[in-house]
Structure 1
Amino acid sequence: MLQGIRRITAIRNNSAISKLGPEYKQFYLRAPDINKAKAFLKHSKQVEEHSDKTASLWLKISLFVAIPSIILCGINTYKVEMKHAEHREHLSHIKDEDWPKNREYQNIRSKKFFWGDGDKTLFWNDAINRNPKN
């Protein structure tokens, strides 16, 4: 089987080499250099070991730094948003008369929206948004 592969490889190389100029044939017709092959394998093994160490480092960084940081930020954000929700709940009890007046550049409607009462945007939230009539 090995001889068959060598024969096919030789046929392929000969057909490719015959199309090349004489200056390239010297590179293809040389015997393999065992020392260079060993050096290549050694270098390739070192690269593989280094990449394993690097991948392990980034896995540890992800597991022990990134994920806990995301969880802590999520907890902090939850607490801040709960305080904000309490504040918004307090603002919902203020009457429209006590609410700050609209300026001429706020809530401009050149034509009515085709949903609802025509005054509220698609993202309108009655608990948060207000449009007091002056």
Structure 2
Amino acid sequence: MATRMATLNRLNVALRTCRRFYSAQAGEHGHESAKRWKSAFFFLGAPAVALVYYNSYYIMPQHPERDEFVAYPHLRIRAKPFPWSDGNHSLFHNGYYNALPEGYEEGSEALHGGHH
């Protein structure tokens, strides 16, 4: 029993020594790492967000025109109805851009993505 206690005590001392050593290293390295991440955010992240914002609001058209509907037989096949709504609209259906098997929806609801 005494040898087991001595072994556990030595293991505990070794673990405390390792923890102290690694936490001291992390403390020295943590400050430099934080400065590096802060610089990366301000010099890479923030300009990237600004460029994406500019692209999405000023360069790309806000509402591009939809394609003319062509009833291709291999598109919009409904083997069984969707389990939501009326069974004909996909989960993220947009009435203006997503055509149904019989064509685009018409009306003001279709422009705002509403269901019939």
Number of aligned residue pairs: give it: 93
| TM-score w.r.t. length of structure 1 | 0.46
Structure 2: gaps (5+ residues) = 9-20, 104-116
Q: Report the RMSD for the aligned CA atoms in angstroms.
A: 4.2
More RCO (CA 8 Å, sep 6+): 1
Determine the C-alpha separation between the residues in 2 that align with 1:133 and 1:45.
69
> Residues 66-118 of structure 1, C-alpha deviation per residue, up to 9 Å, x if partnerless?
1222222222123344x151x32xx48xxxxxx342222101012334623x4
Q: Which amino acid aligns with 1:66?
A: G
Q: Which amino acid aligns with 2:6?
A: A
Structure 1: gaps (5+ residues) = 1-11, 20-40, 93-98
Q: What is aligned with 1:52?
A: 31
Q: 1:127 to 1:50 in 2, by over 3 A?
A: same
Question: Identity of aligned pairs, percent?
Answer: 25
Q: Which amino acid aligns with 1:53?
A: E
Greater radius of gyration (CA): 1
**For 1:75, what is the secondary structure of its paired residue?**
helix
Determine the C-alpha separation between the residues in 1 that align with 2:30 and 2:85.
58
Q: Which amino acid aligns with 1:115?
A: S
1:106 maps to which of 70, 75, 92? 75
Determine the C-alpha separation between the residues in 1 that align with 2:58 and 2:47.
17
Q: Which amino acid aligns with 2:41?
A: S
Q: 1:63 to 1:102 in 2, by over 3 A?
A: same
Q: Which amino acid aligns with 2:98?
A: N
Determine the C-alpha separation between the residues in 1 that align with 2:80 and 2:91.
14
| TM-score w.r.t. length of structure 2 | 0.51
Q: In 1, are the aligned partners of 2:69 and 2:99 still within 8 Å (CA)?
A: no
Q: What is aligned with 2:6?
A: 16
Q: 1:131 to 1:47 in 2, by over 3 A?
A: closer
